[in-house]
A = this chain, B = another copy of it.
Amino acid sequence: MAAKTTKKSIATKAHLLNTALGLFQEHGFEKTTMRMIADACGLSLGAAYYHVKTKEELVLLFYAQTGAEAREHNGDIVASSKDFKIRLKALLQFKFQQMEPFRDLATVLARQATDWRNPLSPFSPDTKPMRDEAIGLIQEVLEGSNVKVSAALRPHLPKALWLYQMGVILFWMNDRSPERRRTEELIDLSLALIYRLTQATTLPFMRGVNQSAARIVELVEGLGESKGATS
C-alpha cells in the first residue's frame, strides 16, 4: 500500500524530490504539476504518488533537507564568535541563503503550518523530530554564548527562539525589499531587543514576569497535544 524503506524506494523518492525542486525553481510551486514531476522522473503519475502522499510532502522533504545541511554549518557558527546576536544572526542568514532559490516553497510551508493537526505542519506532532533538531541547533548556539537569562527561563529559551525564528521566516518570505534589507534590519533590531530582555530577566524583581513568560512558552509548546492536560 504505502512506500517501504527499501534501498530502491529511498532512491526513487530522492530522485523525485530533486526533480521536483528543479521544476519548482523553474516554474514555481503552483504552476508545477504532479504530472510534470512524474514525467520528468520517468514515472507514471500513480507511481509518483506511491512514493509521496501529497504534492506538499515534497515541500516538507525539502525543509527537512535544509535542516540537515544546517546541522553541518552549525559548528562554524559556534566557532565564529561568542556573541549571541552574531551567532543567531548567522543561523538565520544561513537558513535564508538556503531557501532563497525556493522562496515560494516557504509560503507553502507556512500555509501548512497554520493547522497544527496537519501532519506537514512544522508544529505538528509528526514533525517533532525535525523541530527538536532545529531547537537543538539553537541550543548549541546559546551554549557558551554571552547571553544571561534567569534560571526559570533558561530551559525555555531555545523553544522561544525557535518560535521567533518562525516569525522571522514569515517576515522574510513576505519581504519584497531589494536584497531583503528590511529582513536584515528586523533581525538586527529584534536580536538587540531580545538580548536586552534576556539580560533583564536576571533582575530579582522580574521573577513574576519570568514565571509568566515560561508558562506561555509551555502553553504554546503543549498546543500540539490532542486533548488537555498541561501539568
Residues on A facing B (Cβ under 8 Å)? 107, 110-111, 113-117, 123, 170-171, 174-178, 181-182, 185-186, 189-190, 192-193, 196, 209, 212-213, 215-216, 219-220, 222-223, 225-228, 230
Contacts and interface: CB of A to CB of B under 8 A. Distances in A.
Contacts of A220: 171, 186
A219 B181 CA distance: 11
A72 to B, nearest CB: 29
Given A171-B219, A186-B220, 5 more contacts: A110-B114, A114-B114, A116-B174, A178-B227, A192-B212
A105 to B, nearest CB: 12
Contact of A182 (B186, B193, B209, B219): B219
Contact of A216 (B110, B170, B189, B226): B189
B171 A223 contact: yes
A114 B226 contact: no
Contacts of A225: 176
**Which 7 residue pairs across A and B have the least CB separation, nearest first?**
A110-B114, A177-B228, A116-B174, A189-B212, A107-B115, A111-B111, A174-B223
A222 B182 contact: yes
Contacts of A115: 107, 110-111, 174
A116 B196 CA distance: 30
A110 B117 CA distance: 14
Contacts of A113: 114
A212 B197 CA distance: 13
Nearest to A228: B177
Nearest to A223: B174
Contacts of A182: 219, 222-223, 228, 230
A123 to B, nearest CB: 8
Nearest to A114: B110
Most buried by B among A174, A181, A192: A174
A216 B190 contact: yes
Contact of A114 (B107, B178, B212): B107
A116 B113 CA distance: 15
Contacts of A177: 227-228, 230
A186 B230 CA distance: 12
